[in-house]
Amino acid sequence: MILPSNIPVIVGVGEWIDRPSEPSHGLEPMDLMLRAAHAAENDARAALLSQVDSLDVVNISSWPYLDAPGHLAQCLDIRPRHTTYGEVGGQSPLAFLQGAAQRIANGQSQVALICGAEAQHTVTHALRQGVELPWTAPSSDVPVRLRGADIVHPLAVRLGCSQPLSVYPFYETASAAHWRQSPAVAQRESGELWSRYSQHAASNANAWLPEPRSATDIVTESPDNRMVAWPYTKLMVANPQINQGAAVLLTNLEHARSIGIPEQQLVYPWGGAQAQEPRDFLARDHYWESHAQNAVLTTCAQLAGGAFEAMELYSCFPCVPKMARRTLGLPEKFEPTVTGGLTFFGAPLSNYMTHAICAMVRRLRTSLSVSRGLLYGQGEFVTKHQGLVLARRPYPGHPKLAYSNVQQIADSHRSAVPGIEIEPLGNAQLEAFTLLYQHNGDLQHGVAIVRTPHNTRTLARVSPDDKWTLLALTDRDISPVGRTGVLRPTQQGYSEWSLVI
């Protein structure tokens, strides 16, 4: 028999959105977290904040605090035994929830708080207008975070592929070709999927862009929806220009009952899984799937008995939920979100999945047809993967939370990784590609991942003046992946790749 004191439950969730009339009136991330935390306490209908002994703060990118957990604890007038400040990554709120639930299950914590917030919209507008924000003095002593350029191969840095926007399209173009989709069919799937995300954002009071969009609106280029990285338009990528905060409160079942929290208010973490890909995306065996994603999602599906009535599939770029759909065996028309997605709900950088936890908790509480929900997030360049199962009832007959590191499973499916050549010469077959665009919509250049006949790999530039190759890369009817072109060294630390007329 499982003791109620060992069963973790989510008892309160809270969110806050800030749309200031001018930057100087905007709330800083610390204020957004405080308001979200109090909203979570109000949602729990119990004075729990003063009892918090475990505090996790999701990484904040928009404003540098020297000690964000310490500052938040001081503002809440609490002294938690456990405090953590998160690493960058969209999976991190799920890792925090998993850790907090585990501490409660182990008797190391009684009340846990997870918080996060971003105010990038206000910061960006303040910079543009030259406004000095009246916020907590920013710290210059914040430890330097790893940048994309610190993680990827130097060849990727030279060619402008050290940010997610320029890397995820490789998975998009490679997976569509692997699934034998024409580019037009793949783009149609992305547009229809993103339209469903927008429909959910339209019904979420905390969404930044709550206007529903059609699939045609999303995939069609326009002055307001320019191409950013082929084949993605602006409405197909994460939108970090938001001001949003979120908080989650957990305790154990015994304590929740002792302070009178109604049973219908309680949501139970069942467990989950985590795994990673190699951080350097050129050190992966191929680009039409993620072994770590597959292992995490398969494990979560097994934990839930094979089915979920609701889910949140991370949506920084369309390739992510499209790959997840196939791993989970879902039909093409399915509901991928309870929140609204990182384009339309908004992308508070590492903190989106905290909002997704809030949305899933509300769905489980209010919908009798939903008994189990899947939360899936990821970080970096299809790199860090985390899944979590929440439910309206405790896990049946399970003595402990079923948390799994499935790294060995992921690694067991990985095939040999080709070596990297810097400036090779000769024929090479296209594995994946993208085209990078400037802010005014002009093409900057293309980037191709290609394999040589002796099974090495390189990242090569496609010249913006190479009309023939660009015509093939942007063909809507036939995927160019698999075609052979020619590499020519440039003496600039990379080769150029082009198709032969």
pLDDT at 399: 47
Burial of 221 (0-12, 13-18, 19+ CB in 10 A): exposed
How many other CB atoms sit within 10 Å of the CB of residue 57? 27
At 14, give phi and psi (nearest 5°). -150, 145
At 454, give phi and psi (nearest 5°). -95, 25
CA separation (Å) from 105 to 27, 109, 253, 403? 35, 8, 10, 12
**Rounded Cα–Cα distance for residues 211 and 217 (Å):** 12
pLDDT at 2: 66
DSSP code per residue over 49-90: GGG--EEEE----SS--SSHHHHHHHHHT---SEEEEPPS-T
At 61, give phi and psi (nearest 5°). -100, -25
Burial of 399 (0-12, 13-18, 19+ CB in 10 A): exposed
DSSP one-letter code for 413: T
Cα first-last separation, the chain = 72
Instruction: Please report, in tens digits, the pLDDT of each residue of the chain (501 residues total).
Output: 567 788 999 999 999 999 999 999 999 999 999 999 999 999 999 999 999 999 999 999 999 999 999 999 999 999 999 999 999 999 999 999 999 999 999 999 999 999 999 999 999 999 999 999 999 988 777 666 667 778 899 999 999 999 999 999 999 999 999 999 999 999 999 999 999 999 999 999 999 999 999 999 999 999 999 999 999 999 999 999 999 999 999 999 999 999 999 999 999 999 999 999 999 999 999 999 999 999 999 999 999 988 899 999 999 999 999 999 999 999 999 999 999 999 999 999 999 999 999 999 999 999 988 999 999 999 999 999 999 999 999 988 654 567 789 999 999 999 999 999 999 999 999 999 999 999 998 999 999 999 999 999 999 999 999 999 999 999 999 999 999 999 999 989 999 999 986
Q: Would the CA dihedral through 437, 380, 304, 287 be positive or negative?
A: positive
DSSP code per residue over 232-265: EEGGGS-----EEEEEEEEEEHHHHHHTT--GGG
Q: Would the CA dihedral through 62, 68, 73, 74 be positive or negative?
A: negative
Q: Judge whether 268 and 391 are in contact, CB under 8 Å.
A: yes
* SS3 of residue 423 by DSSP: coil
What is the share, in percent, of the chain residues with pLDDT greater than 90?
91
- Which amino acid makes up residue 370? V
How many other CB atoms sit within 10 Å of the CB of residue 343? 25
Burial of 329 (0-12, 13-18, 19+ CB in 10 A): exposed
Q: Give the tokens for residue 12.
A: 């309160």
pLDDT at 6: 87
Q: Give the tokens for residue 130.
A: 């030259």
Helix (H) or strand (E) holding 92: helix 92-105
pLDDT digits (tens, 9 = 90+) for 432-453: 999 999 999 899 999 999 999 9
What is the phi-psi region of residue 96: left when phi exceeds 0, alpha when psi lies from -120 to 50, beta otherwise? alpha
